[in-house]
Chain A
Amino acid sequence: MSKVLLVGTPNSGKTALFNRLTGLNHRVANYPGITVDLSIGQLAKLPDRELVDFPGTYSLRPISEEERIAVAHFADALGDPEVEHVLCVVDATRLEKSLFFCLQVVRECRRSGKRITVLANMGDILARHSLKVDAPGLAENIGAPVLVVSARTGMGLAEVLDQLASSTLDEMAVAADEEPMLLAQDDESADSALYEEAHRLAERFGAPADQLLLIQSRLDRFFLGSLSGGLAFSLIMLVLFQSIFTWSAPAMDAVERVVTGLGRWILPFLDQGILRDFTADAIFSGIGAFLVFVPQIFVLTFVIGLLEDSGYLARAALICHKPLRFFGLSGKSFIPMLSGVACAIPAIYAARSIESPRARFLTYLVIPLMPCSARLPVYTLLIAIFIPRETALGGLVGWQGLTLFCVYGLGMVCGLLVAGVVNRISTGEAQMPFMMELPAYRMPALVPIARKSLQRAKHFVTKAGLVILSVTIVVWVLGYFPNQGADLGASWLGTIGKWIEPVFQPLGLDWRYGVAIVSAFLAREVFVGTLGTIMGIEGAEDNILPLVEQIQASALPLGSGLALLVFFAIALQCVSTVAILAREANSWRLAGRMVVAYLCIAWLAAWATFQITAML
């Protein structure tokens, strides 16, 4: 199958174009050896071509790790005989910024004999403001066809497909007299000629975008101002956290009702015995307990997606730069940290865009302490058990929401403290200066974000679900045998549990919680499923009670509940995070040290919490 490469500068709308051109048909490939995710998809209208989406870079002369990897792949791909066409996306409203990269790409494509088409994206914005870029003029000067397109409206995409379908190579004949490829080398003199050229072309053929920038500047005055910006930031973060609870509550209730309803309906059809016990304890109590949280993951990803797409996240990063700098981090750490609120794994990938190795290392330390959504099931469960549903201040603050806010805060504060301390005591490379593009403000494109959030939720169900199902089955088998669930304490699970009980006893937790915590090392949310299964075995036969009520009935002390919350806020209990961290940071030692250190801190903090609560 022949391949088409899609390249472009960041924020030029490359991802949006990729989605447009491939429809839903794409997969994310992990290139062998190096961890960079390239999306690969079949072109919807030309099924015999594959479109390969490269990470955005400003230049073929990389300054960050992320760019280095992207550029190295691009160089490889240009040598691949299957690749015949390169699409280079530029932002038509900000030509100057993209043209330098574009010229570099044209030069490299010419050297390696690949066809290239330049796509001037965001054409709809130009049209809306009656602006124009001179595409034919530009095409003539750079020696490659230029098409004005819009990923939003689909404008011009038919011509792109025509270009791809036609296989005339004449306009891109290899220039024989050019010197060999110099990709990714410090080739300053050649580059400075390109800067001049890019500048000249943008001035001559680009659209004057004063009008667009005026709108952006007004919004920036508001969002970056000391008072208005601070207020907006707090408000947006508050809405983000509230939305996790309030917007997803109806969906969570619905899932819970469906799961329990389904269980009550199905169980009577099964004969008494192992199958029935397994279905009730492992499937409905175990898996059901975890499915309830899927809506929350969807909502969280969706809201972060909205913020990112609107252009606000870059402003938030800017506002946070100085405070984060105090802890050795950078404003660019903000986006990985916020993604970490959804999941540590994409957050670790997002940290690639931090050019400064020192800030990146410190960001790695913080990410696992960010309150990821896998902790959410555990938090929600514990909060529902111990914290009353009541509200205070006339319904303005709910105690449950406030508690969640505090546990979230705890993780973040710990993260900053760790970064700050490590930054002070470690020597090493100095920080790099901060430079960041501020993208335009845009209406977020709802459908692609919803689709992405759905994918994330699905991924969570399939990937985490598989782990949870296996753990649940193992836990159930260990807990059910050898005595058919008659006495959990005497089961194999009980024996193992009693063995590890001394570790958790100082926190006021019995062996059942110990087992649940240990199983949570596969993935935190497994805690809920394991506890559901254990309580399910213990509970009355067909009585699928919500887990909250079962634990409330077991009279777990408040101090132990709070200790659990604290423990989960700090401990690094996710094998996938550890693996990705080790790979990205290229150091198993770092990952191993983090696991041990965070576990010790978590246990000590949990113990202190239990002791303090007992004194009150």
Chain B
Amino acid sequence: MVEKLFTSIQSFLSPTYDWLPTSDDKPPLHESLDYAKHFAGKLLLRQEIPLDDQTLHSLLSNQNFVSIDAIEQHLWGHRCRRCGNKQKHLFADIPCARCSHTHVYCRKCIEMGRIMQCEPLYYWIGSKPIWLQQDNPCEWQGELTHYQQHASDEITNTMMKGNSELLVWAVCGAGKTEMLFHGISESLKHSKRVCLATPRADVVRELRPRFQKAFPETEIEALYGGSEQKQGKGQLIIATTHQLLRFAHAFDVMVIDEIDAFPFHADASLPFAAGRAAKPDASTIYLTATPRKKHRKQVQSKKLSAVFVPVRFHGHPLPLPILHMCFSLKKSLSQFQAPPAFLKWYNSRVNPNRQLLIFVPMIELAEKLVGHLVDQQLVAKEKITSVHASDSDREEKVIKFRENKLTLLITTTILERGVTFPSVDVVVLDAGHDVFDEAALVQIAGRAGRSPNDPTGEVIFFHDGKTDAMVEAIASIKQMNKRGRKL
């Protein structure tokens, strides 16, 4: 009894996935080959399985599908097995017309189709999917730098070994995609199933064509909210982290991009889903330019293996931010004006031909500053705009800036990572604001000097009082540059 109680407490506190059955190696039924690709490694609601009742029933009775309780009942609460939610206020009762009982449902993941206590999730335990045999899946011909090569070797080793983890600590602009190619190629060759998960849909959209070009014969699928492809049946899946909520014991290799980023960092359901999406003996690669404390500690205490890529692919050091104190900052910003110190700096820039990216802490400031800078005749009206997370023209504006049709873009933290512009100076107005934590400031600084043709770029933090975040960001950039010189 005590033991049972203890197990219950323990599994409520830290999730286990032992409720997932393992599929034994069955000889494939001929019609189930396609089923395997569709269904293997996924937890599905009835309405997500496009088969009629009779077919599903026979797949259940001959042990190709099993049904699993969707909600775990614990002594003092529940856990949703799809999203991992165990917060009381995100469960509620429904008087259910299907089963004529009142029972709980999960409010947290309801946008993906409601999980109810009376309805199981279906899980495929039939034959495993069979992927195309390829001797050399990768057609990418480029060359890696010394540092990239080192990381690439470590990544390949980890992926091949199985049951292991590796943190790739690579500066912004290190060229991480190319470092993954060899390991992924070897994995595909060995019939492993690979997932690359990243927090942003923009990044999924950008990566898909690059991977398809590098792996032309491989079944690749890109999944994000609103993506055309939805089935999730590729051997290589590129997905937003959110899409992992449908997968279970699916992947032999998981690559998790920007492990430090919101929302992976903030939403507990995403690590839950990522842990479940990986097979028990999977290898996991974490990519980050700005690891959080938890991971740094694990690296320091050798609990987590790590490989550093301290130099950008073009070999130049990271631009070091310059702190610029201005006392009148808050006064200027409250009137939606740029501080005089900024205007002074602007007029004496080292390279006035560069585009300028200005980060501000709030949407309203971003919008209103546009007019002010036009009034100050810094820039023509049609050459400047602002952008924020819920801006419906966001993609379009970013493309215009990238194509150099805009010279000045004012943004909230939304553009702090994932986007690359070849030749920009970067300014943060009110760098002491809470939204700019250490990771954000390092990422923001990392927007400058991305191109080998213009590998430097000014990064100026305007503030009215130094914060720990600023100091730590600069220390961390210095440290990476130092490490880069040593290697």
Is chain B found bound to chain A in the same assembly?
A: no
B positions within 8 Å CB-CB of A: none
A positions within 8 Å CB-CB of B: none
